């Protein structure tokens, strides 16, 4: 195939064929197509766009350049939940056990964190002995045994997307709705699930800062998901403020455990119950969302969902007792309490800055090579909308590093208002 002809077609705004798109993804992954030609096509795509069929073809072409998990030996309705990344987001550790307890099969692949957003795989390494590198057979065996498994992304999935994503970052071609959609959805279609819920974060601590843009992206992801044969729904959720009270690794696992025991914060309860209820309706366990959500919230508050969490961790070799005895196993040399300097209502104004602070404490990575301090993190004693009195502890910092917290940092993190701010967590649900 003459790739220059492909470039000229898209430059003129013409539709690329399935064969041309497959050729681009496959040959660029192999290294046959040089960066300068790939960059030219990406820029043409940014300017002229892709239609829905082209986006689906590109998504599936990405999937074809790496490993796929067909889950052929998993019987039952298979579900997955994906988050676009956020500060304090431990949703998968609660969503999974909820869905598993109702008999759904939770088949999930997750990644590690970089910078201010934590990764589910990093959090799971809180459990000594826990392995998230499983063969296809072992992955399916754990799912069939416990109704859920979470494994890490291998280096051999969506190879074309990995290379193209890196190229987009340095060629000014990141902001293409078609390229963004294909990149996100390809990682989800690697797993042959039936139902998919995507938690699209919106706000200062998220990739998508604007609700209008998030809805546009979500509508494309829904179309591509349906064209690929998935039941799909997207939750648009608030990431101006951290999710829950815990930010870190072990501290977030502890909060997930507490939530499954019935002692979780309201925002985390609501988000997890909503995501699980959507999957339960997709899987035919309930006929309508409201009934499903009510049942989940009732059982969640009663602590009915912790057993599947423990069974899943132990099935993958993890020592669950460390989280049951958290205070004995996760201590830090240094601790600082940040207190209110006046009465009012607290509002966290930048989840991104809070995540960066957690990273400085040792809970996040600046580079892929950095080692995490699993015990480091932040605990919000007060959440957005809570009334506070002067002298109340707002949040506590935990680190094995010397904590250099200057008072001016507070101005980036929170305000104390005279009136109660809006702290709505779920902004919209699209299906």
Helix (H) or strand (E) holding 260: helix 250-260
Q: What is the CATH number of the domain that holds 386?
A: 3.90.1170.30
Question: Does the active-site annotation cover 183?
Answer: yes
pTM metric for this prediction: 0.94
Is the same domain home to 39 and 83?
Answer: no
Three-state SS for 372? coil
Residue 136 burial class via C-beta count within 10 angstroms: exposed 0-12, middle 13-18, buried 19 and up: middle
Enclosing domain of residue 350? 330-417
Q: What is the DSSP letter of 420?
A: P
**315 & 360 share domain:** no
Whether 94 is in a domain gets the answer: yes
Backbone angles phi, psi at 135, to 5 degrees: -65, 165
Residues 99 and 243 in one domain: yes
**Gap between the Cα atoms of 312 and 256, Å rounded:** 14
Q: Residue 137 is part of a domain; what is its CATH number?
A: 3.40.1030.10
Q: Are residues 319 and 368 in the same domain?
A: no
Of the candidates 10, 78, 81, 82, the residue annotated as catalytic is 82
Pair (84, 163) in one structural domain: yes
Give the residue from 276, 297, 323 where a domain finishes: 323
Same domain, 274 and 357: no
Q: Are residues 179 and 286 in the same domain?
A: yes
Q: Which of 301, 323, 345 is the last residue of a domain?
A: 323
Q: Where are the alpha helices (DSSP H) in 283-344?
A: 289-301, 306-315, 321-324, 326-329
The active-site residue, picked from 92, 176, 183, 218, is 183
10, 108, 168, 254: the catalytic one is 168
User: What CA–CA distances, in Å, run from 424 to 89, 142, 209, 241?
Assistant: 16, 36, 16, 10
Same domain flag for 376 and 290? no
Q: What is the torsional sign of CA 115, 118, 120, 125?
A: positive
Is residue 61 domain-resident?
no
295 and 381 share one domain: no
If asked whether residues 313 and 352 sit together in one domain, one would say no
Specify whether 299 is located in the same domain as 223.
Answer: yes
Kindly state whether residue 57 falls inside one of the protein's structural domains: no
* Catalytic residue, candidates 57, 89, 122, 161: 161
Has residue 228 been placed in a domain?
yes
CATH number (domain holding residue 45): 1.20.970.10
Domain-embedded: residue 428: no
Residues 6+ apart with CB under 8 A from 47: none
424 located within any domain: no
Q: Is residue 327 among the annotated active site residues?
A: no
Can you give the pLDDT of all 431 residues of the chain as single tens digits?
A: 899 999 999 999 999 999 999 999 999 999 999 999 999 999 999 999 999 999 999 999 999 999 999 999 999 999 999 998 889 999 999 999 999 999 999 999 998 775 556 689 999 999 999 999 999 999 999 999 999 999 998 889 999 999 999 999 899 998 899 999 999 999 999 999 999 999 999 998 887 888 999 999 999 999 999 999 999 999 999 999 999 999 999 999 999 999 999 999 999 999 999 999 999 999 999 999 999 999 999 999 999 999 999 999 999 999 999 999 999 999 999 999 999 999 999 999 999 999 999 999 999 887 777 888 999 999 999 999 999 999 999 999 999 999 999 988 999 999 999 999 988 999 999 99
Does 193 map to a domain?
A: yes
Domain contains 161: yes
Q: Pick the catalytic residue: 187, 188, 201, 365?
A: 187
The reply to whether 80 belongs to the active site is: no
Domain count, the chain: 3
Looking at 323, 357, 374, the residue that finishes a domain is 323
386 and 253 in a single domain? The answer is no
Q: Centre a 10 Å sphere on the Cβ of residue 129 and count the other Cβ atoms it contains.
A: 13
Q: Beta strand 334-339 with 246-248: parallel, antiparallel or unpaired?
A: unpaired
Cα 385 to Cα 414: distance, rounded to the nearest angstrom: 11
Neighbours of 4 (CB within 10 A): 10
């Amino acid at each position: 195939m003459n790739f220059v002809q492909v470039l000229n077609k898209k430059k003129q705004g013409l539709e690329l064929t399935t064969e041309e798109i497959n050729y681009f993804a496959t040959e660029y992954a192999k290294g046959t197509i040089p960066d300068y030609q790939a960059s030219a096509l990406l820029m043409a795509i940014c300017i002229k766009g892709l239609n829905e069929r082209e986006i689906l073809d590109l998504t599936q072409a990405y999937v074809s350049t790496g490993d796929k998990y067909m889950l052929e030996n998993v019987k039952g309705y298979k579900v997955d939940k994906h988050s676009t990344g956020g500060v304090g987001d431990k949703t998968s550790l609660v969503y999974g056990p909820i869905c598993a307890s109702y008999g759904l099969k939770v088949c999930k692949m997750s990644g590690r964190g970089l910078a201010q957003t934590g990764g589910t795989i990093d959090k799971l390494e809180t459990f000594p002995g826990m392995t998230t590198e499983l063969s296809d057979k072992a992955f399916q065996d754990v799912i069939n045994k416990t109704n859920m498994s979470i494994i890490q992304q291998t280096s051999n999935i969506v190879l074309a997307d990995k290379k193209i994503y890196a190229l987009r970052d340095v060629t000014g071609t990141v902001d293409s709705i078609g390229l963004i959609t294909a990149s996100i959805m390809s990682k989800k279609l690697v797993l042959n699930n039936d139902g998919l819920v995507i938690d699209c974060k919106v706000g200062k601590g998220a990739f998508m800062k604007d609700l209008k843009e998030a809805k546009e992206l979500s509508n494309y992801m829904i179309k591509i998901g349906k064209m690929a044969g998935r039941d799909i729904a997207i939750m648009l959720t608030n990431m101006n403020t951290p999710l829950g009270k815990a930010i870190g690794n072990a501290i977030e696992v502890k909060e997930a455990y507490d939530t499954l025991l019935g002692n979780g914060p309201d925002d985390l309860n609501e988000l997890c119950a909503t995501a699980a209820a959507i999957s339960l309706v997709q899987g035919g366990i309930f006929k309508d969302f409201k009934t499903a959500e009510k049942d989940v919230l009732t059982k969640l508050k009663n602590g009915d969902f912790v057993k599947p969490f423990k069974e899943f961790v132990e099935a993958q070799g993890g020592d669950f007792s460390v989280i049951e005895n958290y205070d004995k196993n996760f201590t830090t040399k240094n601790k600082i309490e940040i207190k209110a300097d006046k009465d009012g209502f607290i509002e966290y104004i930048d989840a991104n800055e809070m995540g960066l602070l957690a990273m400085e404490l040792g809970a996040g990575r600046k580079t892929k090579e950095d080692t995490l301090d699993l015990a480091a993190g932040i605990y919000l004693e007060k959440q957005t909308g809570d009334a506070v009195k002067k002298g109340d502890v707002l949040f506590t910092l935990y680190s094995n590093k010397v904590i250099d917290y200057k008072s001016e940092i507070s101005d980036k993190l929170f305000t104390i208002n005279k009136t109660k701010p809006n702290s709505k967590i779920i902004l919209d649900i699209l299906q």
